[in-house]
Amino acid sequence: MDEFTSQQLPVQSIENVVVHPLVLLSVVDHYNRVSKNTRKRVIGALLGSSSEGTVDVTDSFAVPFTEDENEPDLWSLDDTYIDYMLSMLARINEKEDIVGWYSTGPELHENDLGIHCLFKEFVSDSVLVIIDMQPKEFGMPTKAYCDIAKVKKNITEIDQRVFVHVPSEIAADELEEIGVKHLFRNVMDTTIDTLETKVTGRLAALKGLEARLKEILEYLDLVIDDKLPLNHEILNNLQDVFNLLPNLIVPDLLKAFAVKTNDQMHVIYLSSLIRSVIALHNMIINKEHEKAEDAAGS
């Protein structure tokens, strides 16, 4: 009998991946130094810790890697360099160990399973984090995966492992938040505030808000249609969000919005009026100059 009498579903040991800002900054630096303005991707090792199904990625380092774009099976990764780096890092911080690897993707490649098997020699429960360097929409720039054994339908099938998606998030402790703020303060001159930066910031914030609201709406629709189980923790958080929303029906608040809008529209109207008067004045001057030149020529 070819069919298995009892099949065990594959067990996924990794349930969540937490990526820290230092990892993102290191990957961006690696990509800009090696593969910027090219179609090549970069690969590196992820460092951190794993506990109760959660992988906490706190650091990373680049790994020499080459691959043939036309032949996915032709790739080279220096595993001796990984051994050397781990031995050096063990002298500095024994709490951090290799937990997986990263790729700038932006999607999974055919040879990723082979690379993943190589990293599994360093850690059995290895995780792959794909970091998109050029995201086309607002949202998480990271996608996390782990590998599981594919369930065999009959005994003649060959053992095979496949990637499954793992929820990921970006988190930072207090010290990391302070460091990131100081970094952006040095990179960007906060004293320069132009109309372009204001509009860009507002647009990015509105697009991010729209994406979050759509995600909430899709989740609630799935719960209503009984396609997802009811999660009271999520609903309580949503209720807290709604409770914190301001009451926009207050007459004083409506009046304040109307006054503010009228003041802004008044300034815009005056600016348009002044621009039109100046343009008309310049046109009259040009006509007078043309008449004077015609009279002088005749």
- Tell me the H-state helices in the chain: 21-34, 79-90, 112-119, 174-187, 195-224, 232-244, 251-297
Fold of 16-178: Cytidine Deaminase; domain 2 (3.40.140)
Which pLDDT score, from 0 to 100, does residue 279 have?
92
pLDDT tier for residue 9 given thresholds of 50, 70 and 90: very low
Tell me: the pLDDT tens digits for 61-104? 999 999 988 887 889 998 899 999 999 888 887 788 999 999 99
pTM of the model: 0.62
Residue pair 47/97 in contact (Cβ under 8 Å)? The answer is yes
The H-or-E segment that residue 58 falls in is strand 54-62
Peptide bond into 135 cis (omega under 30): no
Q: For the packed helices 174-187 and 21-34, what is the interaxial angle rounded to 10 degrees?
A: 40
The domains of the chain are located at 16-178, 193-244, 250-298
pLDDT tier for residue 176 given thresholds of 50, 70 and 90: confident
Only one residue has tokens 């090219």, namely: 38
SS3 content of the chain, % helix, strand, coil (to 5): 45, 20, 35
Tell me: the pLDDT tens digits for 188-237? 555 556 667 777 778 888 888 888 899 899 999 999 999 888 889 889 99
Only one residue has tokens 């938040």, namely: 177
Tell me: the pLDDT tens digits for 115-172? 999 999 999 889 999 999 887 776 778 999 999 887 666 665 656 788 999 999 888 8
